[in-house]
Amino acid sequence: MRLAGRFKPYSGPRLRLVVGLFGCIFCAIFIRLVVVQVFQHTYLRDLAERQYSRQITLNPERGRVLDRHGRVLATSVPVPSVYAIPQDIEDPDAIAPKVAQILGQPLATVKRQLESSSPFVWLARQLPPEVGERLQKLNIRGVQVLQETRRFYPKRYLAGQVLGFVGVDGVGLVGLEHLYNRELTGTPRRVTLQRDATGRTVQVIAGDPSDQPRGADLYLTLDERLQYVAEKELAARVQETQAKSGLVLIMHPPSGDILALASYPFFNPNDFQDPKQQVWQRNRAVTDPVEPGSTFKLVTASAALEENVAQVTDMFYCENGLFVRGGRRLRDHHPYGLLSFSQVIEKSSNIGTAKISERLSDDQLYTYIRRFGFGEKSLVNLPNEDGGLIRPPKKWSKPTHYSLAFGQEVTVTSLQLLAAYAAVANGGWLMRPRMVEHVVQGDESQFFAPQARHRVLSPQTLERINEILVGVVERGTGKQAAVEGYTVAGKTGTAQKVERGGYSHSKVLASFVGYVPAEVPQLAILVLIDEPQRAKWGGEAAAPVFKRVAQQALYYLQVPSRQTQTLSLETTLDPTPTPPPGDRESPRVTSSAGAKSGEREPARVALSAGPKTEKERRP
Amino acid sequence: MPPQPQATSAALIMSRGRARRIASRYVGMALLLSAVMVLGGVLLYLWPQVRLVGLGYRQSKLLAQRTQALQRQKELQVELGSLRQLRRIEEIAAQHLGLRPPQATQVIYVRSGQHVVGQRRE
CA distance linking residue B97 with residue B90, whole number of Å? 10
Structural domain harbouring B85: 4-117
Chain CA centroid to CA A236, Å: 23
CA distance linking residue A590 with residue A581, whole number of Å? 13
pLDDT of A585 reads: 36
CB A73, CB A67: distance < 8 Å: yes
CA distance linking residue A256 with residue A598, whole number of Å? 22
Say if A159 falls within a structural domain.
no
* Same domain membership, residue A196 and residue A232: no
| CB of B57 less than 8 A from some CB of A | yes
| CB of A560 less than 8 A from some CB of B | yes
Identify the CATH number of the domain in which residue A105 sits.
Answer: 3.90.1310.10
pLDDT of A88 reads: 83
Contacts of A76 in chain B (CB under 8 A): 74
Rg over alpha carbons for chain A, rounded to the nearest Å, is 36
Of how many residues is chain B composed? 122
Q: Which of A229, A259, A261, A258 is nearest to A246 (CA)?
A: A261
pTM of the shown model = 0.78
Identify the active-site residue in A76, A81, A263, A294: A294
pLDDT digits (tens, 9 = 90+) for A3-53: 445 566 666 788 888 889 999 999 999 999 999 999 999 999 888 887 787
* Same domain membership, residue A237 and residue A209: no
pLDDT at A1 over 50: no
Q: With residue B51 as reference, give the H or E element that holds it.
A: helix B4-83
* Same domain membership, residue A47 and residue A128: no
Q: Do B85 and A154 touch (CB under 8 A)?
A: yes
* Same domain membership, residue A544 and residue A448: yes
pLDDT digits (tens, 9 = 90+) for A544-574: 999 999 999 998 998 888 776 666 665 444 4
Say if A455 falls within a structural domain.
yes
* Same domain membership, residue A432 and residue A477: yes
Nearest to A69 among B71, B108, B122 (CB): B122
How many domains is chain A built from? 3
Query: Which of A566, A570, A571 would you mutate first to test chain B, the one with the most B CBs within 10 A?
Result: A566
Provide ipTM, 2 decimals: 0.70
Q: Do A565 and B71 touch (CB under 8 A)?
A: no
| For range A103-107, the mean pLDDT | 89
CB A76, CB A65: distance < 8 Å: no
Say if A543 falls within a structural domain.
yes
| CB of A485 less than 8 A from some CB of B | yes
* Same domain membership, residue A500 and residue A532: yes
Contacts of A586 in chain B (CB under 8 A): 119-122
Say if A138 falls within a structural domain.
yes
Nearest to B111 among A484, A485, A567 (CB): A567
| 3 state DSSP class of A206 | strand
Contacts of A585 in chain B (CB under 8 A): 119-122
Nearest to B112 among A75, A194, A571 (CB): A571
* Same domain membership, residue A134 and residue A257: no
Grade residue B121 by pLDDT with cuts at 50, 70 and 90: very low
Structural domain harbouring A200: 36-66+181-215
pLDDT digits (tens, 9 = 90+) for A325-356: 878 888 898 899 999 999 999 999 999 999 99
Burial class (CB in 10 A: 0-12, 13-18, 19+), A284: buried
Cα separation values, A422 from A94, A201, A383, Å: 68, 60, 21
**CB-defined contacts A:B, below 8 A:** 132
CB A553, CB A252: distance < 8 Å: no
pLDDT digits (tens, 9 = 90+) for A378-389: 999 999 999 999
Q: Residues of chain B with pLDDT > 70: what percent?
A: 84
Say if B122 falls within a structural domain.
no
Of how many residues is chain A composed? 619
pLDDT of A81 reads: 86
| For range A57-67, the mean pLDDT | 87
DSSP-derived pairing of the beta strands A72-84 and A121-124: antiparallel
pLDDT digits (tens, 9 = 90+) for B65-115: 888 888 888 888 888 988 989 999 999 999 999 998 887 777 777 766 554
Point out which residues pair with A494 in neighbouring strands.
Answer: A510
| CB of B65 less than 8 A from some CB of A | no
Say if A363 falls within a structural domain.
yes
**Comparison of pLDDT for A608 and A501, the residue scoring more:** A501
- The residue among A172, A198, A215 that closes a domain is A215
* Same domain membership, residue A84 and residue A58: no
A53 catalytically annotated: no
CB A485, CB A517: distance < 8 Å: no
Query: Which of A205, A222, A225, A565 would you mutate first to test chain B, the one with the most B CBs within 10 A?
Result: A565
Say if A316 falls within a structural domain.
yes
Burial class (CB in 10 A: 0-12, 13-18, 19+), B19: exposed
Say if A616 falls within a structural domain.
no
Single-letter amino acid, residue A492: T
Which A residues 33-92 touch B at CB under 8 Å? 69-72, 75-78
Say if A17 falls within a structural domain.
no
CA distance linking residue A518 with residue A253, whole number of Å? 12
Say if B11 falls within a structural domain.
yes
Q: What phi and psi, each to the nearest 5 degrees, are found at residue A488?
A: -110, 140
* Same domain membership, residue A407 and residue A431: yes
* Same domain membership, residue A246 and residue A136: no
How many domains is chain B built from? 1
Q: Do B112 and A568 touch (CB under 8 A)?
A: yes
| For range A451-468, the mean pLDDT | 95
